[in-house]
Chains A and B, each alone.
Chain A
Amino acid sequence: MKGYPEIITILPPGMGLALAVAVPLLAAALLFRPAARGVVRRLAPLTALPALMLALTGSEEVLPLSWLLLGAELRLDDTGRFFLLFTAWLWLIAAWFAAGYLARDRRAHYFLLFFLLAQAGNFGLILANDLISFNLFFTLMGLAAYGLVIHRRNEADLRAGRVYLTLVVLGEVLIFVGLLGLIFTTDGALNLPTAMGEGPPPGSFTFFFLLGFGVKAGMLPVHFWLPLAHPAAPVPASAVLSGAMIKAGLLGWLRFLAPPAPAATVDPATASPTMPEWGLLLLLLGLAAAFYGAFMGMTRQEPKTVLAWSSISQMGLITTALGLGLSAPELFPRVLETIKLYALHHGLAKGALFLAVALAAYRINGKLLTCGVLLPALALAGAPLTGGYFAKDQLLALGQAFFADPAAGSLLSPGWWEWLLKLSGFATTLLLLRFLALLRQQWQQNNRPDNTAATTPWSMLLPWGLLVLSGLPFWSFYLPAITVPMPEFTLPMAPGMLPGTLLPLLAALALAWLLRRRWPARLVSEPQEPRTVKRLAAAWHAGAGWTGRTVKTLDQLLQRLWQTLATVWQQPARQLEKQVALWPMAGCASVLLILLLFYLLL
């Protein structure tokens, strides 16, 4: 608490936690008053401020709300603080940007409503310290984001929304089962640290967490909603979807798959069960996503879709890191640091790139745009001295430490690991070049002399500029100064390493130059629906039709059965009916009957 005695410490303990979640919720509630909408629109960015202040200056505090749910609790821990920091910052920037972006939108207050709800959910799930409130906020965020995805109400957006919602509900159910498994194994411990004190639940339940949170994190077999939904949302929403909300899946993994604290594993005999199989699976899925996402991204025609695929690819790398940590629990503390660093860097860079897509639709200075796009793009590609570089370097060291173990080394040698990462950097660079080409086309279309596009408003330029600047790795210097414990990382910048780190970039540039005619970037404004989704939808319809028909047949059979039965006693039933049909008769009779009964009783 160096030199921050102000606001937060004046508040009663735990108040900062409550405010971080309550302020966006209250703002959302205010939107129901038409008179208040204008004010809320203007002040929306400020709703992220309590969370940001909390992340920067809050002490490690706990807010027990024992009557809420089954005994809820909010808490700010180290991991949470880190996630809250970049998450709150992204929401703040996005809300600020949205004020300009949606200035002429008739339905801006709808957008704002879902935006604020998702924001509250996102902050809440970071601060939640018990299973049920975590689930509650996770659900709130997932459902509220639906309103963002379908904001424009296009046919394509509605389809994307449908896919998104289906996957959200599916993820929700999987997480629900995982949570049940967890409380079953811990005899009903709802408090997160207590519940996770003995590590994750047994294998099969881990699977539910893996897949359930994997939906949000864009893990490979359940990723397909992401390239549809992220681009469908309005740009500020895409930025938080890809920058902040996608990390909620990651945080879920960290919260519910983390091996227990190292103190518990001192004795090898009683060491908690590690999960090498799941770790390996995550490792492989992550690597596959890293390359598959990059490849898919570099063949798309729409800038936002390219970025969405890039998110899948980058989340794949983070997944790989998590896989390493699950396979070798002794590495987990380092894995955690790497993941934090990666999440921070990716969130800031991806957010800035998404916002740039909106800017290219305005009349804007080309050099300014280039500058502001290149910085985050270089960071994603892992160019030296950028945040991405440090993150990748950490990941490299981590993998080398893991594969140095002879058992794991038989799988992949440390040298191969390095090349795999280089290759992924190469693929990412190609994807980003594609994005830049598409963005340039879009900019050119809107900046021809005869075009009447409006000039960029400051309310969009300013937040974007701030986001780009905050993405520079200055944070490594200023954050530790204000009590946010930084992940430890070294600065391995020996001059001799420069060629090695630049190699993927340069190779990608060269290849792109060679193929510049064979790989034309044709700008398409609407994202294409992938075939898998179409097939899934067709399968769903076929399945629904089939069940419907089967049920109908069953029903008819049942009805026939009853009819047969009915004919048997039709005669007495008809007579009964005739009498009952005269209601005064029936009413009097039933009352008399009842009275008689009670007369007998008393």
Chain B
Amino acid sequence: MSNINAWLPLAILFSSFCVGIIIFFLKEESIALRTTLNLGAALVKLVLIGILVRGLFAGIEYQAVMPLLPGITLVLRADSLAVFFATLSAVLWLLTTIYAVGYLENSPNRSRFFGFFSLCVSATVGVSLAGDLFTFLLFYEMLTLATYPLVVHRGTPEALQAGKVYLYYTVGGGAVLLLGTAWLWSWGGDLSFGNGVIAASAGEGDRLPLQLIFVLLIAGLGVKAALVPLCGWLPVAMAAPAPVSALLHAVAVVKAGAFGIFRVVVDLYGLEFCQLLGVLPLLSALAAITIIYGSIRALNENNIKKRLAWSTVSQVSYIGLGVSLAGPLAVTGGLVHLVHQGLMKITLFFCAGNVAETLGIHRIDEMAGLGRRMPWTMGAFSIGALGMIGLPPMAGFFSKWYLGWGALEAGQPWILAVLVVSTLLNAAYFLPVLHRVWFLEPQSRPVRERRAAQAGHRRGGHEANNMLLVPSLITALLVVIAGLLAAAPASPLSWAIFIVSGGFP
């Protein structure tokens, strides 16, 4: 047997958790210490994950098992899928931390913000490393609690309202998920991911309960993954500060839902067993409807962040769609979209934040001529938008490529129609924005300068602050690299193919 190492998963988890706790007790004005702690923890986590990946290639198994209640254990295990998601969250956390430090410069309550920010990331990493459904549920709930203060951070009535809606939805979803988990536990007992116990021990009479449990689990996870009709909270939650929205949409909350769906379908029930139960068409249909519905709603939004939020609703369902098709190619497409969508959407939200911070612009009809004013930010925005449409060589193209190919492989060509309509709608809500940004004349100068002054920036400052700009540029660059070098060994796509073909032994 290979080595088993228990401390590394725990260290990865606690690297941000402890920092979060420490930050709560820091004074508001100890900026340098707080920033050092934040960035240090992010870097440490990234290094630890690097060590973990190297260890996995060397054949070491990483698993931490702790008894919690009689019969229930807490399991942290680093399998290939967990590492995939954990890496994404660690990389994006580092970038978002830099962004958040710049974004919240001179604003109140930063200790509270960064404390919960760290807890939020710990929860996300916990979700990714969870080795069974119970552990998953625990961190999933922790994520809900840790994000709420971030959503309401500004304390405006709008933000409080958003927080309320967010809490209603996610706590409700969590309850349903808990119900499903408990039922499944009482039925079978073993909730570990990837051991195929459920499929093996299911008798003929267990069909209906298992189907119902599946529906409960997906409904619970579907709240965070923003499946129709449970997606209403997401566009409201954009009242949060830009870095929070970026994290929420790209890696933390929404992705935790999508990741959970992936875990449940692929690792808990198993693809073959799901097909046997006949529950996947339900998920396909739901995902397809969400994809189209989100795009249509995005078309009608004038607020930048709201349009992006609806776009997330639509794009995250690609992941569910890929899983529900159950073929290796489609699953690859869905899995790689987990990363691709994260990179593209975080870029878009960063840029929206840059524009709002620098010029006080929140609406699309105010964006005319922004390309001349903030060429770098808008360049990054354009890369993200073109990627969302799915044009080569951006990352989004390859997700669609594998999804479409997988749909044909699975014998479900109607999915192609969904992809086509979604692409056209994506183009319909992103290309006019790009046109406005690059080809229309800027708004008359006085209005813009007044806005800029209101936003607290000096006259003539052309681009966003470097703390805001550099993370946006890095993520945009990653979007291009992930697509352009998709065949390279370390690309998200190669990794997804590796996972689907079996992953680490």
Report which A residues bind B (CB closer than 8 A): 32, 66-71, 132, 135-136, 139, 143, 147, 150, 153, 165, 169-170, 172-173, 176-177, 180-181, 183-184, 188, 544, 547-548, 551-552, 555, 558-559, 562, 566, 573, 576-577, 580-581, 583, 586-587, 590-591, 593-594, 597, 600-602
Contacts and interface: CB of A to CB of B under 8 A. Distances in A.
Contacts of B423: 169, 173, 176
User: By DSSP majority rule, is chain A's interface helix, strand, loop, or mixed?
Assistant: helix
Contact of B391 (A153, A172, A188, A602): A172
Contact of A70 (B115, B146, B398, B416): B398
A586 B115 CA distance: 13
Contacts of B116: 587
B500 interface: no
A180 B439 contact: no
Contact of B420 (A173, A562, A566, A576): A173
B487 A68 contact: yes
B160 A581 contact: yes
A180 B299 contact: no
A153 B164 contact: no
Which 8 residue pairs spanning A and B have beta carbons closest together? Answer: A136-B392, A184-B408, A180-B404, A590-B145, A601-B66, A169-B427, A67-B488, A71-B487
Contacts, number: 112
A566 B487 contact: no
Given A69-B487, A580-B148, A587 B293 contact: no
B431 A165 contact: yes
A548 B300 contact: yes
A573 B168 contact: yes
Given A165-B431, A169-B427, 16 more contacts: A69-B483, A132-B392, A169-B424, A173-B423, A176-B423, A180-B408, A548-B296, A548-B300, A551-B296, A577-B164, A580-B167, A586-B149, A590-B146, A591-B21, A601-B66, A601-B74
Interface in B97-131: 112, 115-116, 119
Given A176-B404, A180-B404, A562-B232, A69 B66 contact: no
Contacts of A590: 119, 142, 145-146
Given A165-B431, A583-B149, A602 B66 contact: yes
A551 B293 contact: yes
A405 to B, nearest CB: 35
Interface size class of B (residues with CB under 8 A): 35 or more
User: By DSSP majority rule, is chain B's interface helix, strand, loop, or mixed?
Assistant: helix
A587 B300 contact: no
B408 A68 contact: no
A586 B391 CA distance: 45
Interface in B310-329: none
A486 B404 CA distance: 40
A175 to B, nearest CB: 11
B420 A558 contact: no
A233 B109 CA distance: 54
Nearest to B417: A177
Interface in B399-444: 400-401, 404-405, 408-409, 416, 420, 423-424, 427, 431, 435, 439
Contacts of A184: 405, 408-409
A219 B119 CA distance: 58
B486 interface: yes
Interface string B159-182: 010001001100000000000000
A132 B398 CA distance: 10
21 contacts: A68-B487, A69-B487, A70-B487, A132-B392, A139-B392, A165-B431, A170-B424, A173-B423, A173-B424, A177-B420, A180-B416, A181-B408, A547-B296, A548-B299, A558-B229, A573-B168, A577-B167, A580-B148, A590-B119, A591-B119, A594-B142
A456 to B, nearest CB: 30
Contacts of B21: 591
Contacts of A32: 375
B297 interface: yes
A597 B484 contact: no
A184 B423 CA distance: 20
Contacts of B148: 580, 586
